[in-house]
Structure 1
Amino acid sequence: MTEENALQKTNRINLLFDFYEQLLTEKQQMFCKQYFHDDYSLGEIASEFQISRQAVYEHIKRAESVLEEYEAKLGLLGKYEERQELLQKLDRLLEGLDAPNREAAAKLISRLNELD
């Protein structure tokens, strides 16, 4: 896996974790936070919890799988990304409006952004 792919994967897992963290087990939450958010190595996590690196790896891989399963079923990340893309398009369309309409539309966009 290239460094760019690894970074994309890490970013995706972090986003999925933000949406579905509470649906993971306590251990999965701890290990994912330390591995993906805090950038701990498998060895560092294993040492802290006095388990093998393989056990940490398996917990993290299982958590990744569960996160992807939740996303496949619920699609929260996909909906969020689509909403962000649409909001960016709306922002660009605002430039062509007259001042009163631009202000009204900007307020609506701001409200939509607050929903996240």
Structure 2
Amino acid sequence: MIEDIVQKTLLYDFYGQLLTEKQRDIMEMYYTDDLSLSEISEQIGISRQGVYDTLKRAETTLIEYETRLGLVDKFLQHKSILSKITNMLNEILTGDHDNISEVKNKIKSIKNFIEKLE
């Protein structure tokens, strides 16, 4: 459940501006403000079912954008690679390296990870 919310929040962060104003408002109230469908319904003056339908349409639209563009997936891949690079650099900086070729090999690995980002 939490992973689903995180995924939808990431999708919203990347593609939210492509939704209608009404869809954005409902998604923000539901996910950011943590309001229930009934509370949102009361605030914007539509039925609870109308809120639910709008929310589901917005979520479907965000998923379609991600399927076509893949920006969230690329972001997560880059984040993972950068984390690995950071760990490798920390190993180089904190390690006791008597052998320069060992350091060179680690630097080559970092270079390979960076090339994957391009």
Calculate the TM-score normalised by the size of structure 1. Answer: 0.78
Aligned twin of 2:90: 95
Report SS of the residue matched to 1:88. Answer: helix
- Distance in 1 (CA, whole Å) between partners of 2:92 and 2:18 is 44
Runs of 4+ in 1 over 3 A off after TM superposition: none
Offset at residue 8 of structure 1 (A): 1.1
Say whether 1:67 aligns with 2:62. Answer: yes
Say whether 1:38 aligns with 2:33. Answer: yes
Given candidates 37, 46, 53, the residue that maps to 2:48 is 53
Q: Which has the larger radius of gyration?
A: 2
Offset at residue 45 of structure 1 (A): 0.3
Measured against aligned partners, the alpha-carbon deviations of 1:33-79 in whole angstroms (never above 9, x if no partner) come to 00011100000000011111000000000000000000000001000
Given candidates 15, 18, 29, the residue that maps to 1:20 is 15
Structure 1 stretches lacking a partner, 5+ long: 1-5, 106-111
Look up the equivalent residue of 2:25 and give its one-letter code.
M
- Distance in 2 (CA, whole Å) between partners of 1:88 and 1:98 is 15
- Distance in 2 (CA, whole Å) between partners of 1:62 and 1:98 is 49
Structure 2 stretches lacking a partner, 5+ long: 95-102, 108-113
- Distance in 1 (CA, whole Å) between partners of 2:5 and 2:11 is 10
- Distance in 2 (CA, whole Å) between partners of 1:95 and 1:20 is 34
- Distance in 2 (CA, whole Å) between partners of 1:81 and 1:54 is 34
- Distance in 2 (CA, whole Å) between partners of 1:45 and 1:98 is 52
Say whether 1:8 aligns with 2:10. Answer: no
Percent identity reads: 41
Deviates most, 87-96 or 61-70? 87-96
- Root-mean-square deviation (CA, aligned residues, Å) is 1.9
Offset at residue 97 of structure 1 (A): 2.6
